[in-house]
Amino acid sequence: MSIHDLLKQYIEEGRIKLDKSIHHELTTYHDPCNYGRKGERAFGHGYYEEPRWVTQQCCENYVEMYPNRANNFCCGAGGGAWAAPYVEERIFYGRVKAKQIKDTGAKLLIAPCHNCRDQIMKSLRKEYDFMDVEVKYLWELVADSLVMEPREEAEEE
Amino acid sequence: MEPLLLTKREKRKLASQYADLCLTCGTCAGGCPVTGVDGLDVRKAVRLALLGMDQELIDSKFPWVCTLCGRCEYACPMNIDLLALLRSARGMRARDKVPGVLHKGVEMCLKTGNNVGIPKDDFVFLLQDLGAELAEELPGFEVPVDKKGAKYLFTINSKEPFAEPEDMMYWWRILYAANESWTTTSENWEGVNWGLFTGDDAAMKEIVGRIVKNYKELGCEYLVLPE
């Protein structure tokens, strides 16, 4: 099961409650290659809409990068490049992603992939000067938006 | 460079069974952020394969600076399997020539069950310790390990227990809020499969097989890899 389906299900079924007022800044979403294009090719379904929907359950102000979905640009660290020694090439690759992000004017970027998040948060922000943009995993955004309700004690008694 | 005699070229080794459909339009290379790096691009990689110059591609850096993102393949008007081609070039490198730590990670995962070699006891202790910390905020919370019959089995990205352990708590908070039945495992919990990146299908299969074995033995309903 995909994390996107799971998060969507929790929200739709009311199993978790989210507070939209916590993340009020303009927010954008990065399509990881693996959940999008490659998922579409390998499994017949690209996860484009589900994570956008989840993001927008947490954030009121949302903006798209261009291009996006199946035509989105890779962060530059996929395919093992984050762990490979070609640092200069990886940063060069990421210039396109950095420009896409900066062009949106968003102050919060959501990435549901470890590689993409690390490349953008730990490398591109510094190299291309957009440290003012915060980067979160999709599940981090959801966890930070949670309204925790006290557990019913009945089952413990 | 020696003249290339097409009549004497070797049989192609690279996975490129559809490469001869290439129209040389350059759509692939035109939309790729690393076109030109190392003097190559995707279109040229296809030409190398077609000309039987497999070794040139295998020895070049290009298949590794390419991130296998698939934008070229998505746009290719002839639907050529460009990623299979580039990944096979990675797979044909001698394993000691695989750049950086990628193959070492694969070997470590095969040996210890995770890419960074965290021992079972340390891992379980870390989960319990962090779980207890979170329980101060979320009463009754604990990390379920090897719990039979849990609905969801979660793998973990070794980067987290290794370097950013508190990031595991995001999922834990969500699962607590949803009152979910879930578990992780004390062994072979690694969700990152570097065999995918090094073109090593045998290792990839072995690592996936171990996760599936956990899943079956615990009788879980769903497997979740939060990658």
- Per-residue pLDDT of B121-163, as tens digits, reads 999 999 999 999 999 999 999 999 999 999 999 999 999 999 9
**What is the side-by-side order of every strand in the sheet holding B222-224?**
B182-183, B152-154, B222-224
- Of the residues B48, B73, B93, which one is the last residue of a structural domain? B93
Whether B201 contacts A88, CB under 8 Å:
no
| A41 min Cα distance to partner chain B (Å) | 9
Which ipTM was obtained for this model? Answer: 0.96
Residue B13, chain A, CB below 8 Å: the answer is no
Does residue B59 belong to any structural domain of this protein?
yes
The share of chain A scoring above pLDDT 70, in percent, equals 96
B106 and B208 together in one domain:
yes
**Nearest residue, CB atoms, B68 vs list A1, A78, A90:** A78
Subunit contact B71:A71, Cβ cutoff 8 A: yes
CA distance B90 to chain A (A): 11
Q: Which helix (H) or strand (E) holds A47?
A: none
In a domain, B1, yes or no: no
Residue A152 pLDDT:
66
- Angle formed by the axes of helices B102-112 and B201-218, nearest 10°: 40
Instruction: Please state which CATH class domain A23-147 belongs to.
Output: alpha beta
Extended strands (E) in chain A: 27-29, 108-110, 134-136
pLDDT tens readout for residues A30-62: 999 999 999 999 999 999 999 999 999 999 999
Instruction: Name the residue of chain A whose CA is nearest to B83's CA.
Output: A38
| Domain extent at residue B41 | 6-93
E strand or H helix that includes residue A117? helix A114-118
Residues B10 and B86 in one domain: yes
The tokens describing B143, both together, are 């990390």
**Residue B2: what pLDDT?**
75
Q: In chain A, positions 43-72, which contact chain B (CB-CB < 8 Å)? A: 70-72
Report in angstroms the alpha-carbon separations of B222 from A49, A70, B145, B150, B183.
Answer: 22, 27, 16, 9, 11
Q: How many structural domains are present in chain B?
A: 2
User: Is residue B21 domain-shared with residue B57, that is, in the same domain?
Assistant: yes
CB contact under 8 A, A80 and B197: yes
Q: Is B101 an interface residue toward A (CB < 8 Å)?
A: yes
- Contact B173/A at CB under 8 A: yes
Give the model confidence (pLDDT) of B83-98 as tens digits. Answer: 999 999 999 999 999 9
* Domain termination site, one of B93, B111, B132: B93
pLDDT > 90 fraction of chain B, expressed in percent and rounded? 89
End of a domain among B93, B125, B140?
B93
